[in-house]
Amino acid sequence: MFTFLGHLFDIVCTFPTLNGLILLYSLVGDLGLALLLFTVITQLITSPLTLYGLHEQKHMTTTLKELQPEFEALKERYGNDRQKLRAESLALYKKHHINAVAGLLTLIPQIYFFTALWAVFSNQVLSARPMAVNQLLYPFVPKLTTTIDPHLSWLSGYAIDLTQPEPGTIVHFFAILAGILIFICIKISIPTNGAMMTTNDASGKKTTRSIASIMTILIVASIWMLPAGLVLYFVVATLIAILQQLYVNSWNGRSLQATKKDSLARALQAKHRLFYHGNEKLREVALTFDDGPHPTHTPQILAILQRYGVKATFFTIGNLAHEHPDIIRQEVADGHTVGNHTWDHVRLPPLSTCDATKQILDTSDELEKITGIRPTCFRPSFGEISEDTLAIINNLGLITVMWNNMPLDWLNPASHVISARVTKRARNGMIILLHDGYGERTNTIAALPSIIETLQARGFRFVTLSELVEHATTPIAALAAQARQ
């Protein structure tokens, strides 16, 4: 059995790798240069698979972080019913297009070529007589006439035998370089900034440094006594992996598609069809609540708003509005604005035009059925928009409303933290994003009176998004005249 597996490994891995290396060696006449070219070529050939895996891995990490409140809500709902919790979690994975296996795709080509080169360099194949090596070559590969020179000649002053471990007991140049590169690779592979960091920024960065340091030590210890050629391959492959990871990190939609999205976004902002903030010349702010209605939290928020005489905007999930229509009617009766937040709280960019349109239309239809008023404002789930989704939203006659103050209340920090994050960043025309649905919102509710009192004391007036949009499109002089009447 083991003999059969050994032969199979040679046929699938060792022989193709050996032939590719010999073919390049016959062209350049230097084993080190041939190995360098072999590494670059194989990494380029497998780059589509690697980039896809890296992108999916990044998408999974980002999505899971953002979905944390939803997972917490599932735990709260199903408690110890592990089977139901698992089923609902998998459904959440599917709904948000999370592919947990895709990230492993990046390892497949690396493992394949590393093990194949290990067989080539460790079994003294390259040191064999030309006649013995020629028997392993494919017909199209030039046959050897002399023994392969295994020494690296193009690195000045460092002529080493690539089939043997690096000389010396302390200084192993390639092994140390590999350790440095793997440290960098791990550091840029684990997200530690932007949306991925929360209130535990320092802790996250410390963990990342620890993981990178431990992995570096383990890698260097593992490859210390491997053939120098194999370590050289590892160095070059890791360097290319760093470049690929940097590309994926910077991609984030930042391509031609993102340029188009940004261009459309600017055009929609100019036409007052996309808002990140209101009129910055007016001392007013808009309170907005996402992901409701919630049977407990939303009524408590409505009671507080009524106590202070404050109007707000509720971006509503369609299926929850269908479950709790009385709460939606109460929001409208109290003078608040109700907006569209998709039917299932899904990311729109990955969806087809038909599916994305259905998510929006079904919600608008449901809200109009409940209240008799068709919503005019829309907020995309997770704030994710693309050129296509912006166009869909606009074509459906809806104004896209984002925000410029998000205290991350969905992570459920202490109420005083939520309040401080909102009030310290307060400025004219600010759109505040809070949540009344999905997960525990007790701290958000507790923070609301302090937010209202502090901002009112500083002269801010609370408006609905309908008012904010109107004020953004109305000249200041006309608004002043209205205020005097």
DSSP result, 27-49 = HHS-HHHHHHHHHHHHHHHTHHH
**H or E, element range at 361:** helix 353-371
Give the other-Cβ count within 10 Å of 164's Cβ: 17
Radius of gyration from C-alpha coordinates of the chain: 30
Q: Is the sign of the CA dihedral 462, 467, 469, 475 positive or negative?
A: negative
Q: Which two tokens stand for residue 257?
A: 């598609």
Please compute the mean of the pLDDT values over residues 434-450 and round it to a whole number: 93
Tens of pLDDT, residue by residue over 99-116, are 777 777 788 888 899 899
Distance CA 238, CA 357 (A): 43
Q: Is 272 a catalytic residue?
A: no
Domain boundaries, the chain: 2-251, 260-484
Residue 482 in this model has a pLDDT that exceeds 80: no
In the CATH scheme, what is the code of domain 260-484?
3.20.20.370
Q: Is 324 a catalytic residue?
A: no
Choosing from 290, 388, 409, 436, the catalytic residue is: 290
Q: Which two tokens stand for residue 250?
A: 């910077």
Residues 6+ apart with CB under 8 A from 257: 386, 387
Choosing from 277, 435, 436, 471, the catalytic residue is: 435
Q: Considering only 38-47, 54-63, 364-373, which range has the smallest mean pLDDT?
A: 54-63
| Percent of the chain residues past pLDDT 70, beyond the cut | 84
The DSSP bridge partners found for residue 161 are 151
Q: How confident is the model at residue 196 (pLDDT cuts 50, 70, 90)?
A: very low
Burial call 249-282: b when 16+ CB within 10 Å, e when fewer: beeeeeeeeeeebeebbeebeeeebbbebbbeeb
CB 460 within 8 A of CB 284: yes
Q: What is the mean pLDDT of the chain?
A: 83
pLDDT (0 to 100) of residue 200: 40
Distance CA 435, CA 442 (A): 10
Q: Is 203 exposed, middle or buried (0-12, 13-18, 19+ CB in 10 A)?
A: exposed
